[in-house]
Structure 1
Amino acid sequence: MEQEEVRVDSITGLPLPCDVMMDIIKRLPPKELLRCRACRKSFKALIGTPEFYQVHLNWSRETNSYRTLVMGESDSDSDFFSSAFYDRDAFSSAQLIKQPLKVPRNMGLVTYIVGCWNGLICLHIIWGDDVAIWNPCIQKFKMIPRVPDETTKGAVGIGEATYGFGYSGGDYKVVRFMELEREGTKVLDSEIVVYSLRSSSWKKIEFRESSSCTWDTSYVIPLDGALHWFGKLHRSNSTSGILTLNFTNEKVMEFRAPDEVEAQLHTSSAGLSELNGKLCIIDFHDKANYDIWAMNIYGKAESWTRLYTIKSTVVNWTFDWRLPLASSSTGRKILLYDGSGSRNVRLFWYDSEKDTAKRVRIPGMPSDFTAAICVANLGLLDGESVIKEEDGSEGDIQFEIIEGSEQRDISEGESSRQGGMSGGKRVRTK
């Protein structure tokens, strides 16, 4: 009997069409995908394509699969920890992980999280020049070169630079904001330079508003191909607003805040964040109520809506530095971070329907940390490995997206190993 010829796909080398194979393996965590790349050349070719990267990332974002809470200590040790974020809104024990900008102890330097987008984290050493983009899912990173000296020629930087991290048109961007004093004068200028990961180069933003705008807080939020922060569009303005740097037209613009919170934007009584794809303002106006406002239509001031008013009697904390980190799987609850600076950081699930809050306790959680919620992704496959063997070769992947069957999840009633959690001053999520 004559055997029927089996057709083999030219890319995968298997008797399955490429799109079918993508639909199957996109459900795997990054750890398993890397194993597939190592065992078959055709898998390596498929998994390394931009098309599969986008398919896998879209699936991870749509299903909230393999999410992880990454926490970086805000002290001189700069240790980082990870905790698996399960579908049922619970967390695993925190595990120590390696990161690319580890600083020597007792140097007075701290590595903090600038921002997070598509599961990639931008790291920066405070009072230093080192910046890196890091994928903790696969422990790959890329160092960002220093800004060329010619961009600040004829001027002296004042104070510490502020950094932001964003994404536009398939390209990741690192932005440095610096206040300058022109040599021989006391004229203050603002400098904004943007690094493109795709082109591996820095570019200075050249237009009038870029040299006169200010930034009042360390919150720099990525959304819709732009960065957002509190500041003045012109240094001479009497009030602050929400400024945005659009990566496409490279212009700085201003969004109006709700009238109820406009006066708070230049103070520590207001914060900026992103939640469920919307720009949010957090207003701590009277130390008794905590309001979260969302811009329902991007760029439209009239679309600001008060989403939540949380009373201090519901969430018993000190009213400083608390931001929404993420939504629950049902969308009914939001994860709130309290970084009051009291070295007693707390995480809470706030239930908007019941108007109740429940504390989240994670054994092994560090004290005084910056944080990000990461989705599974395969970005920076061509990057340098964080983990090196003694001979200089790449070691095994130490950071693993923990699946529910691999570790016991932690209930909200269990106590933390360190007896408490403390707060940092910067939180970046996405």
Structure 2
Amino acid sequence: MKLGTKLKIPLRNAEMVHDGGEDGDPQMGCFPKGSGVKRKRCIKVKPKDQRFKIVNSCSGFLCLSKPTRNNPVAVCNPVTGEYINLPVANRGDENMDGFVDCGFGFSPRTNQYKVRRMFDQWTRDHRFANREGYYGRGAEIHTLGTESWRSIDNTPQSRYKLAFPTYLDGGLHWLCLDKGCCLYSSGSEVIVTFDLDSERFQSVLQLPHEYHSEGSSDKGTRKVSMGVLGGCLCICDASGYSPIDIWVMKKYGVQESWTNLFSIDTICDERWPYGLYQPINFIKNGTVLIFHYFKSALIHYDDRRLRFRYLKVRGAKSRFEAIAHIPSFLSLKDAVVGDKAVVMNVNTRYG
């Protein structure tokens, strides 16, 4: 199978590359001065200039972040090639070692796209030789089309990473797999939710009662992921050696509505690799697409025939991650509110 579609995302340091690098020479030659060779107009791009981490997808747009700290820096439409650079954050950058939990979504009530970031806050304590000490979590929110971030309260006081940012029906969701990770929880693994209309954390959703990660022999590493299948919030649990359980919440917010969509018995077929699986798409005829992180493979599973097709990404020198993304021709110029945002385009040199 050949994947012929080519989508474009911006360079992480596009402005530096456009300006000719750190020396500020927009006509950086492929040969040094004085070499006797006529210098050609070209642009030198280093691998580090291209690296991005994809946070999540919403309405055909992707939120991109720096790979080291996961700090959100841009929103793009890979189909049209348009992108918007996010403004520099106000807070949280003083701790360069901290990981940023972030997510991107749409507020139906205000008709605005928003990016939410959470980070560790540190202060110097004069009582202990002016050493830095942790004093809680901070949070900011940015509305696409504005020029700055706004500080907001009501942040869960968790020092654990919140994984798999997922947008669904006006809300952002994070999966917290560490016990006691959130003051709202009672020592159980939970889904933390944030309402983009009210800009507040609304509730914590409990995982299915039959969720078997508690009894897994691999307690040190949870093989659980979150996503959206068929318009419903879903959990994929592969913590045990068998089976792989996929749950969907049929009625949002109702604990009793968790339904076991698939329970894939993998013990009878050694071709099923052990590790973390990510649900990608559910097809109503009884098939599901799931992605295996460590093998960088897409698996097409047919529940009616109990068969699967293993599609390996060949030629890859590194591991991949996968998210569900529905492409759109919606222009970022029509999506943002106000005229403060500068919409760039990867198809033109200067945007």
TM-score bracket relative to the smaller structure: 0.7 to 0.9
In structure 1, the partner of 2:128 is: none
Query: Do the aligned residues in 2 keep the contact of 1:214 with 1:234 (CA within 8 Å)?
Result: no
Deviation at 1:324, TM superposition (A): 1.1
Amino acid at match of 1:120: F
Query: Do the aligned residues in 1 keep the contact of 2:222 with 2:239 (CA within 8 Å)?
Result: no
Work out whether 1:375 is the aligned partner of 2:327: yes
In structure 2, the partner of 1:219 is: 164
In structure 2, the partner of 1:409 is: none
Structure 1: gaps (5+ residues) = 1-90, 395-430
Equivalent residue for 2:80, pick from 130, 138, 141: 138
Deviation at 1:144, TM superposition (A): 0.7
Structure 2: gaps (5+ residues) = 14-44, 126-131, 335-342
Query: Do the aligned residues in 1 keep the contact of 2:101 with 2:162 (CA within 8 Å)?
Result: no
Work out whether 1:387 is the aligned partner of 2:347: yes
Work out whether 1:311 is the aligned partner of 2:221: no
Equivalent residue for 2:246, pick from 286, 292, 295: 292
For 2:293 and 2:4, locate their aligned partners in 1 and report how far apart those are by CA, in whole Å.
18
Work out whether 1:351 is the aligned partner of 2:325: no
Map 1:130-209 → 2, pairs under 5 A: 131-148=73-90, 151-152=91-92, 156=95, 159-169=98-108, 170-184=111-125, 186-207=133-154
For 1:198 and 1:163, locate their aligned partners in 2 and report how far apart those are by CA, in whole Å.
18
Amino acid at match of 2:288: I
Counterparts in 2 of 1:291 and 1:142: CA distance versus 1, 3 Å: same
- Residue identity over aligned pairs, in percent, reads 24
Work out whether 1:339 is the aligned partner of 2:298: no
- Give TM-score, length-normalised by structure 1: 0.60
Deviation larger for 375-384 or 129-138: 375-384
For 1:315 and 1:379, locate their aligned partners in 2 and report how far apart those are by CA, in whole Å.
46
In structure 2, the partner of 1:413 is: none
Counterparts in 2 of 1:139 and 1:309: CA distance versus 1, 3 Å: same
Q: Report Cα offsets for 1:228-252 as digits up to 9, x if no partner.
A: 1123331895333111111122322
Amino acid at match of 1:164: G
Amino acid at match of 1:112: K
Counterparts in 2 of 1:251 and 1:98: CA distance versus 1, 3 Å: closer
Map 1:67-82 → 2, pairs under 5 A: none
Q: Which runs of 4+ in 1 moved over 6 A?
A: 362-366
For 2:9 and 2:55, locate their aligned partners in 1 and report how far apart those are by CA, in whole Å.
14
Q: How many residues align?
A: 292
Amino acid at match of 1:388: T
Amino acid at match of 1:354: R
For 1:180 and 1:111, locate their aligned partners in 2 and report how far apart those are by CA, in whole Å.
24
In structure 2, the partner of 1:399 is: none
Q: Report Cα offsets for 1:148-205 as digits up to 9, x if no partner.
A: 2xx459x746522122122222322211121223331744311221111144432222
Query: Do the aligned residues in 2 keep the contact of 1:94 with 1:364 (CA within 8 Å)?
Result: no
In structure 2, the partner of 1:99 is: 9
For 1:188 and 1:263, locate their aligned partners in 2 and report how far apart those are by CA, in whole Å.
31
- Give the match's secondary structure for 1:302: helix
Deviation at 1:266, TM superposition (A): 9.0
Q: Report Cα offsets for 1:314-346 as digits up to 9, x if no partner.
A: 582322221111134x54321110112xxx311
Counterparts in 2 of 1:217 and 1:187: CA distance versus 1, 3 Å: closer
Amino acid at match of 2:246: I
Query: Do the aligned residues in 1 keep the contact of 2:105 with 2:115 (CA within 8 Å)?
Result: yes
Deviation at 1:368, TM superposition (A): 2.1
For 1:236 and 1:183, locate their aligned partners in 2 and report how far apart those are by CA, in whole Å.
30
For 2:270 and 2:75, locate their aligned partners in 1 and report how far apart those are by CA, in whole Å.
34
Query: Do the aligned residues in 2 keep the contact of 1:94 with 1:362 (CA within 8 Å)?
Result: no
Map 1:1-20 → 2, pairs under 5 A: none
For 1:107 and 1:92, locate their aligned partners in 2 and report how far apart those are by CA, in whole Å.
27
Deviation at 1:272, TM superposition (A): 1.3
Amino acid at match of 1:251: R
For 1:333 and 1:156, locate their aligned partners in 2 and report how far apart those are by CA, in whole Å.
45
Map 1:391-410 → 2, pairs under 5 A: 392=350
- Give TM-score, length-normalised by structure 2: 0.73
* Higher RCO (CA < 8 A, seq sep 6+): 1
